[in-house]
């Protein structure tokens, strides 16, 4: 029971949704019946998250799901760990599952909002923050900001006017309101007016862009597509036409035209990087299901790599890993560490995949390259040791593993693995005494 109390205290300390967890906990009589395996795994997940071992926390939470597959608290915790790893797709899925199981819990919605905001998916963020306003009116400020980010200035001003009737606007909101009242954008012409303007002067690009936006906003994708094609015909050098055309071509399974439009967008100097990344992500999904177009990804990544804020190769690799396309994942993780050798997360993923695929020469090569950058990183010695052992270089494996285990700090799982591999190495070399010594050490690691 004392351990379970400690477990609760850890949860309260390291989780931002104390209240929601308390609401999910069973009565005191039920606590005694909590399954030991579930308790141990959940306790371990919280502990691992607290020391930022998010991958290990996820493993423990998955074991919890084996016991309680419909527990929204577990999905919420999974979402937070995936979010910490910047694995936003999995975080989104986990938070959404928690919401599906308990839509009345505000913090689950909050987690999903964080994902959409962090990935700059502002349209979905608007959908979620609208729900959060039902829990807390203070989220109206967020909604105004999101309307501003997405250039929905008429909606932002309308909301600010409503807010002003019931509360004092913050300094930021006052600034937004003043800014909006000074711009003519809040009084943009309607669809009919825009269509007339296009007929009258077909070379004004902004009218097409505004009309495409209005049709898309009202979910009339067919009309938006027609306007985008009209823009491309009347202003052939317009890059903005292709932002819309890529999506339409992909939806129609027209890979050839989609490819042409995508590269128009990526090579444009007029289009923001956030839009370029969105267009690329849409194409990536299409190319992964239509492998004849995957050849275009490498060229696209080369263009996008000029923006150092996002490691595009790494995100593509993670996408293929999720799809269990391991060869493609290896290829793009290799490109990732080639472009950004300091990205250790990409390296860890690559090592795990190469060990799984038994490509031990590559494992040893990459591990030693990284050791030049990180000479005290224990896991590098570990990967090199495993590779050498499997390449029948037993003596070298022993030297590498014995050297590396000295660098293990507060990582009992890795320490245990070192001792296990050393036991295997000494068994292979015929030194059974040292084999037993390291097996004993492995069993004594807590």
String of DSSP letters for 166-204: HSPPPHHHHHHHHHHHT-GGGG---HHHHHHHHHH-TT-
Residue 109 has pLDDT above 80, yes or no: yes
Residues 7-27 have pLDDT tens digits of 444 443 344 343 333 334 444
Predicted confidence at residue 297, as pLDDT, reads 87
Token pair listed for 318? 């993670």
**Mean pLDDT score of the chain:** 83
Is the distance from CB of 317 to CB of 332 less than 8 angstroms?
yes
Rounded percentage of the chain residues whose pLDDT exceeds 90: 29
Predicted confidence at residue 21, as pLDDT, reads 37
Is the distance from CB of 176 to CB of 144 less than 8 angstroms?
yes
Predicted confidence at residue 380, as pLDDT, reads 93
Residues 315-362 have pLDDT tens digits of 888 888 888 889 988 988 998 888 788 888 888 899 999 999 999 999
Confidence grade of residue 161 (pLDDT, cut at 50, 70, 90): confident
From CA 128, how far away is CA 130, in angstroms rounded? 5
From CA 184, how far away is CA 161, in angstroms rounded? 17
Residue 108 has pLDDT above 70, yes or no: yes
Q: Which comes out higher in pLDDT, residue 131 or 3?
A: 131
The backbone torsions φ and ψ at residue 445, rounded to the nearest 5 degrees and listed phi first, read -70, 130
Is the distance from CB of 311 to CB of 343 less than 8 angstroms?
yes
From CA 423, how far away is CA 325, in angstroms rounded? 33
Sequence-distant (6+) residues with CB within 8 A of 388 are: 360, 364, 394, 396, 397, 400
Residues 384-426 have pLDDT tens digits of 999 999 999 999 999 999 999 999 988 889 999 999 999 999 9
Residues 169-226 have pLDDT tens digits of 888 888 888 778 777 555 556 778 888 888 888 888 888 888 887 777 667 777 877 8
Sorted by where each starts, the structural domains of the chain and their CATH numbers stand as 2-135 (1.25.40.10), 358-446 (1.25.40.10)
Q: Which comes out higher in pLDDT, residue 219 or 91?
A: 91
Predicted confidence at residue 30, as pLDDT, reads 44
From CA 140, how far away is CA 53, in angstroms rounded? 35
Residues 286-299 have pLDDT tens digits of 888 888 998 888 88
């Amino acid at each position: 029971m004392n351990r379970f109390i400690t477990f609760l205290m850890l949860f309260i300390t390291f989780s931002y949704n104390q209240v929601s967890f308390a609401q999910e906990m069973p009565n005191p009589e039920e606590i005694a019946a909590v399954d030991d395996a579930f308790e141990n795994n959940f306790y371990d997940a919280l502990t691992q998250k607290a020391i930022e071992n998010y991958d290990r926390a996820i493993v423990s939470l998955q074991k919890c799901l084996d016991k309680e597959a419909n527990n929204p608290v577990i999905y919420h915790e999974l979402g937070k760990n995936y979010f910490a790893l910047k694995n936003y797709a999995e975080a989104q899925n986990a938070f959404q599952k928690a919401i599906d199981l308990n839509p009345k819990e505000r913090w689950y919605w909050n987690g999903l909002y964080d994902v959409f905001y962090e990935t700059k998916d502002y349209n979905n963020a608007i959908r979620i923050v609208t729900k959060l306003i039902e829990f807390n009116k203070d989220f109206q400020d967020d909604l105004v900001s999101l309307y501003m980010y997405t250039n929905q200035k008429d909606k932002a001003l309308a909301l600010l006017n409503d807010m002003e009737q019931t509360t004092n606007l913050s300094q930021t909101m006052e600034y937004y309101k003043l800014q909006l009242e000074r711009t003519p954008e809040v009084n943009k012409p309607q669809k009919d007016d825009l269509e007339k303007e296009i007929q009258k002067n077909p070379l004004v690009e902004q009218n097409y862009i505004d009309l495409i936006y209005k049709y898309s906003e009202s979910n009339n994708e067919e009309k938006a597509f027609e306007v985008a094609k009209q823009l491309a015909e009347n202003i052939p050098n317009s890059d903005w036409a292709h932002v819309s055309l890529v999506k339409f071509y992909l939806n129609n399974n027209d890979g050839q035209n989609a490819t042409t439009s995508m590269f128009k967008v990526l090579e444009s100097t007029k289009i923001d990087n956030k839009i370029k990344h969105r267009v690329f992500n849409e194409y990536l999904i299409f190319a992964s299901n239509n492998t004849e177009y995957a050849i275009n990804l490498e060229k696209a990544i080369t263009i996008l790599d000029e923006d150092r804020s996002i490691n595009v190769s790494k995100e593509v690799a993670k996408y293929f890993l999720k799809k269990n396309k391991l060869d493609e994942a290896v290829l793009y993780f290799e490109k990732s560490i080639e472009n950004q050798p300091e990205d250790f997360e990409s390296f860890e993923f690559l090592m795990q995949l190469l060990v799984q695929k038994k490509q031990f020469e590559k494992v040893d090569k990459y591990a030693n390259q990284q050791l030049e950058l990180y000479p005290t990183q224990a896991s590098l010695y570990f990967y090199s040791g495993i590779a050498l052992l499997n390449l029948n270089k037993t003596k070298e494996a022993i030297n590498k593993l014995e050297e590396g285990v000295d660098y293990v700090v507060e990582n009992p799982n890795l320490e245990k693995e070192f001792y296990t591999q050393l036991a295997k190495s000494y068994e292979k070399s015929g030194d059974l005494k040292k084999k037993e010594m390291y097996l004993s050490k492995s069993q004594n690691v807590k």
